[in-house]
Chains A and B, each alone.
Chain A
Amino acid sequence: MELIKYNKNNSKIIIKKALAVLKNGGIFVFPTETCYGIGTDATKKSAINKLYSYKTRREGKPLSVVVADIKMAQKYVEINEMAENLYKSYLPGPITVVSKGKGKVAKGVESEYGTLGIRIPEHELILDIVKNFGKPFTATSANMSYLPKPYSIKALLKNMPAKNLELIDLIIDAGKLPHRETSTVVDTTMNSLNIVREGQLNIYKKSDKKSILSAQTESAEETINFGSMNMLKYIDEPLSKPLVFFLVGELGGGKTQFAKGIARCLNIKDLVKSPTFTILNEYNYKFGERRGKFIHVDTWRIEDINDLETIGLDNYFSVNNIIAIEWANKFSNDLKKKIKKTGGKIINVIFNYLDDDRRAIETYE
C-alpha cells in the first residue's frame, strides 16, 4: 500500500499512480467533495470481488460509480428525461443519480433490480482520473461496513484490521475534508411519466366506454361534490360486490378531493387525507342499513404489483366495500383481473386540467 499526500502540484503523478492501480484491478482511496471514497474498476469482476472483501454488499442497493460526464454515463445507464434534468442542473455535485443499468458493469455493481447509481464528483483530481481511465470506477464511501463515513485518512485507518488494510493499494491523502453530508441518492427509475402516459392512452380510449357523469369543477370544493355525486349514484344499488373507483390523472389533478367526496357521501366523519405515504387508509362507513369499509389507496410510490398484494389490498375486494385507487392506471390490467375475479364493479374517473382551479372530470364504467 502506498500513501501519497495530495497537493496542487503533484496531481500529474497521482493520476498516473491511480491509473496504474485501476488497470491492475486494485483499489484506491480518494477524496471527494463529500467524504473519502474507495475506487476500483467497475467493469472488472475480480476488482469488484476485491472491493467486496473490503466492505460487505448491501442487498438491493447498487454501488455508485464515478463517471466523467453524461456522455460516459450514457454508456452504462439509460438516462431518461428526469435523470438528464438532474445531470444538467446539479452535476458535477453531491448527488448520486440512480438509473436503469445497461448491464455493462461487473456483476455485483448494479442492484438486483438492475439499477446503477452514477456520481460525478465536484473534484477536479477525481474527474481527471476518470477521464483518463475512460471507464467508471466505484464511488462507495471508503469506510468498512457499519463504520462512520471517513473525512480524514487518520479516521479511516484508525483500528482498521490488517486484512482490510492489505486490500488497499493506494491512498490519496487530501488531509481533513470539510464535513459535508454524503451525496443525496435520487432514484429516477420509479414511476416514470412516460409509462404512466402510455397506460392512460391504452386503457382509456373514450370511444369504447360508456360515460356516466362528467363535470367541469371550478374549485376543490366542487370536485368533492362531484365525488359525492358519483358515489350517490351507486349507493342505492344493492351492491353485493365491491365497488372500485380508478382515479386517473396528473399530480394535483383532484384525485384526493374526489375521494373526500366519496367519504362525505358515505357519512365518514374522519378526515380523509392523502394516502401517499401510508399507501392505504381504511375507514368504516355506515349508510342506512349498509355497513362496510371505504379503502383509499395511492399507488404513486408503488413500483410492483406484488406490493399491492403485500399491503393486503386483495382482502379488501369484498362485499359492501368501496375502494378508491389513485394512480390505478399504473397497474390497470392486473387490478382489473383481480377485481373481475371477485365480480366487482370498476368506475374509471379521469381528471384533466383546464387551468388553475378548473378540472374536467369524466367517469366511465
Chain B
Amino acid sequence: MNKIKITSKNKYKEAIILAIDTSCDDTSVAVLKGRRVLSSVISSQVELHKKWGGVVPTIAKRAHQDNIEKVYQEALKRARIKEEEIEFVAVTHGPGLAIALEVGIEFAKNLAYTKKKKLVPINHMEGHMLASFILNSKGNGAIALNKEGTVFPALALLISGNHSEIVYAEDINKYKILGETLDDAAGEAFDKVARMMNLGYPGGEIITLLAGRASSTWSNVASGLEERNERKPLAEVAGRLGLPVPMMRSKDLNFSFSGLKTACLYKIKNLREKYSEDTKWSYDFSREFINAVSRSLLTKLSKAIKLHPEIKSIIIGGGVSNNKYIIREVGALTRKTQKNYLIPESKFRSDNAGMIGIAAYYNINNLENWLEGKKILELDRKPMLRL
C-alpha cells in the first residue's frame, strides 16, 4: 500500500511538468519529464535586461513580472521543450512571502487557464520532502532504497533558511509536523551568527569554511574531511566551556535556535576582547557552533526515530543539509538505523523549482490532484501554509 510508485504505470508518468517557485529570494522555474528534471533555472543565473536603469532593489526585482517570463523562457530553452508540450503547471502556493508567491501563482494561473493546462498547487515544504526522488536529465537519481523498497512511513528532517521541521510522512500527501522551530530556523542561525562575527551576508557558508580550519579536537571528529591542524584547541569553546546545545532537555521534538544565538553573542564578545586583533579564535568557534546546531538536530531526530520505530525511511531536505558537517552526522545516524536514507542531490537541497515539479509528479500520479478550467482561477496564495 505504502509503496511509492517509482515505476508508475500511470498515464502521466512521462508527462511534461512546468514547475515554478517564487516563495524565496529567487524566481525558479524547472521543466520535468516525469521524474526527470530537464532544466532548473534560478533567476540569479539569468541575465536580465537593464530595463529599470539605476538601482533596482533585490526584492522589487524578484517581485517583477518581467523576471519570471525570462526565467521561464530560459527553462524551456534549456529543456528543449515547447510551451505546447507542457501538460501540467505546478506552482508553490505557500508558505512564503505573500507578494512573492503571488508573482508565481499569477503567472501559473494565466498560463494554465489560457493555454488549457492542468494546474497543480504545491506546498513548498512538500517539495523539500520529495526532492530526493528527482532524477537528473539522464534518468539517474540520488535515492538508495533497501531491499524492501518501501519508502513510507518515513520521518523527514527539513532544514533550511526558513524552516526546521521534523515531519512524519505516512504516505504522499499525508504529513504531520512532529516538531518545528519555535523561533529562528537553523539556516537563519547560521546567517545571524555570521553577522555577529562580522562575516557579511549570507555568512552560513563562511562559517563552514572557517570551521575547516579548526584545531585537531574538531578535526578528529571530522575524520579527514578538512585540512589537519594540530593547534591546541581553544579552551573557551572546547568541552564544557562550549556552546549550549539548544533544547537538549526539552521533551518534545521542537527546535529553538534563539538561545544559541544569544550564547554566541556573549562568547563572541568575550573572545573578541581577549584576542583583539588575532581572529584565529573564529576557526574553533565556528566548528563548535556547527557542532551545537548539529547536535540539536541529531538529538531531536533520534528521539523521533525512537518514538516511531515503524518508519522505513529517513528523508532529508533543505539547504542546511548542504553543510558537510551536519550532513555527515545525520548520515551516520541514519545508517546505524538501517532505514532507507533519502537525500537529494546537492543542488536540489536548497530552494529550487525541480523539487516543486517532483512533488507535482506524485500529486498527479498518486492522487490526481490538480485544477482544471475555471477552478484554476480560484487558486490563492497561502503565506503561512503548513504541511
Q: Is the CB of A82 within 8 A of B259?
A: no
| Assembly CA distance A6 to B47 (angstroms) | 34
Give chain A interface residues in 82-138, CB to chain B under 8 Å.
82-83, 85-86, 88-90, 93-95, 97-98, 112-113
Question: A273 contacts which of B183, B210, B261 (Cβ < 8 Å)?
Answer: B183
Distance of B376 from chain A, by nearest CB (Å): 24
Say whether, besides A250-B265, A251-B196, A145 and B47 are in contact (CB < 8 Å). yes
- B162 contacts A by Cβ under 8 Å: yes
Q: Give 1 or 0 for each of B350-367: 1 = CB within 8 Å of chain A CB.
A: 000000000000000000
Residues of chain A with a CB closer than 8 A to B55's CB = 112-113, 304
Q: Give 1 or 0 for each of B187-204: 1 = CB within 8 Å of chain A CB.
A: 110011001111111110
Stretch at the interface among A52-60, A168-176, A240-248, A338-346: A52-60
Say whether, besides A257-B258, A311-B59, A277 and B210 are in contact (CB < 8 Å). no
Q: Is the CB of A186 within 8 A of B206?
A: yes
- A364 contacts B by Cβ under 8 Å: no
Residues of chain B with a CB closer than 8 A to A220's CB = 258-259
Stretch at the interface among B29-37, B93-101, B151-159: B93-101
- B145 contacts A by Cβ under 8 Å: no
- A191 contacts B by Cβ under 8 Å: yes
Q: Is the CB of A82 within 8 A of B97?
A: no
Majority DSSP secondary structure for residues of A touching B? loop
Residues of chain B with a CB closer than 8 A to A251's CB = 192, 195-196, 261, 265
Residues of chain B with a CB closer than 8 A to A82's CB = 198-200
**Total A-B contacts with CB atoms under 8 angstroms apart:** 153
Q: Is the CB of B258 within 8 A of A256?
A: yes
Interface size on A, residues (CB 8 A): 60
Give chain A interface residues in 22-76, CB to chain B under 8 Å.
56-60
Residues of chain A with a CB closer than 8 A to B183's CB = 256-257, 273-274
Q: Is the CB of B47 within 8 A of A312?
A: no
Say whether, besides A273-B183, A280-B97, A86 and B56 are in contact (CB < 8 Å). no
- B209 contacts A by Cβ under 8 Å: yes
Q: Is the CB of A112 within 8 A of B210?
A: no
Q: List 17 A-B contacts (CB under 8 A).
A: A60-B61, A82-B198, A89-B279, A90-B209, A184-B205, A184-B206, A273-B183, A274-B258, A276-B188, A276-B192, A277-B187, A278-B97, A283-B384, A301-B201, A302-B59, A303-B57, A312-B99
Chain B interface residues (CB < 8 Å from chain A): 24, 45, 47-50, 54-61, 63, 95-100, 161-162, 180-185, 187-188, 191-192, 195-203, 205-206, 209-210, 258-259, 261-266, 277, 279-280, 282-283, 383-384
Besides A85-B197, A271-B180, A281-B384, 6 new A-B residue pairs in contact (Cβ under 8 A), listed by A number: A85-B279, A112-B55, A186-B201, A190-B201, A256-B184, A311-B100
